[in-house]
Amino acid sequence: MASGSRFFQEVELPEQKSYGHGIRFPVVLTSKLITTKEKVLEALEEAIRDEKPWLESLLRERGVILFRGFPVITPSDFNQVVEAFGYPEAFYIGGRASRTQVVGRIYTANESPLDKRIPFHHEMTYVKNFPSKLFFFCEEEPGSGGQTPIVLSHIVYEKMKKKHPEFVAKLEEHGLTYTIVTSDEDQHSSFTGRGWKSVYHTDDKKVAEERAAKLGTKLEWMENGVKTITGPLPAIRWDKESQRKTWFNNLTGPVNGDAKIYDKGTYVDLGNGETVPNDAMEDCSNILEEECAIIPWKKGDVMFVNNLTVLHSRQPLLKPPRRILASLCK
């Protein structure tokens, strides 16, 4: 496959998932060149620009590209790599995670406590302006744990449809409504703990209401925060590029009233008001666990994710440090 490139070489890792005909997930690319650090970084940026159509076709077909073994050391190096792709930045308006700008278009990935798991999700499925591509960068390799599992979304859809055809038919017909209680200020203890002032980049309630409305979200003010209601939004998405249906929603585990996974006050219902059945969600969790690829982070890794076709999550960190940065693209 990687023979299509003058610069990149595809390598195999034992943790990749294998799907017939030698298709491995994710794609792992390294450099054919052996030269000095500066030259490789420069050459990487040049190769990204020159071979962008080939890289994009890989991303389309395989979902995720992991660039490994390149001298991407600092957040600025990562910023240069992202810039080389030339995609417009997706601004994080309506997003739920606490994130801080590091440099340029590079942000911390999610500042919630690293010993807590983040369930599988496509980035920002709960608003209309979700990013189509994500970049992650490993600045500090985790001591132990803290991986970012990834899974092909169409496989989750197909398996769920086989196992729960009636529920999936309802999902396709009615979509989902997301209700999320948001406090005034950021709560760093939660992975969805961004306060509404940060979510909508204002402390003016009227401005927040206008910005929320543009995202298809209604706000109901409460004493110390606001209830945000979005939907019904489609829960299954037709991906034109791959010609497949994807599990494009936040239903990736027990959702209703399970404080282990979702915060209290946050829930997801079918668009017709019906409750999402827990047995289907348990099966969904199992499918995600079975089908995901977990590649332990190595310092300098850059992971390029098609947010339209791949779900990602975060495993609890067992031993610090860990610093993963991210950049979102339209």
**Contact residues for Fe ion, defined by CB under 5 A:** 123
The answer to whether 266 and 192 have CB atoms below 8 angstroms apart is yes
Per DSSP bridges, beta strands 64-67 and 27-31 are parallel
By C-beta, is 168 or 305 nearer to Fe ion? Answer: 305
CB of 136 to Fe ion, least distance (A): 9
By C-beta, is 44 or 82 nearer to Fe ion? Answer: 82
Cα distance between residue 268 and residue 8, in whole Å = 43
> Which structure tokens are listed for 210?
């206008």
Q: DSSP of 225-267, one letter per residue? A: EEEEEEEEE-SSEEETTTTEEE--SS-SS--SS-TTTS-TT-E
For the beta carbon of residue 213, count every other beta carbon within 10 angstroms.
11
Question: Which DSSP state fits 2?
Answer: G
By C-beta, is 123 or 269 nearer to Fe ion? Answer: 123
Q: What are phi and psi of 314, to 5 degrees?
A: -135, 130
By C-beta, is 8 or 131 nearer to Fe ion? Answer: 131
CB of 67 to Fe ion, least distance (A): 19
By C-beta, is 119 or 254 nearer to Fe ion? Answer: 119
CB of 283 to Fe ion, least distance (A): 23
By C-beta, is 77 or 123 nearer to Fe ion? Answer: 123
Q: Closest Cα partner for 194 from 229, 225, 149?
A: 225
CB of 12 to Fe ion, least distance (A): 26
CB of 118 to Fe ion, least distance (A): 7
Cα distance between residue 255 and residue 268, in whole Å = 7
Task: Output the CA angle 179-182-183, nearest 5 degrees.
Answer: 155
The answer to whether 72 and 37 have CB atoms below 8 angstroms apart is no
By C-beta, is 35 or 101 nearer to Fe ion? Answer: 101
CB of 299 to Fe ion, least distance (A): 21
Torsional sign, CA 33, 35, 37, 43: negative
CB of 125 to Fe ion, least distance (A): 10
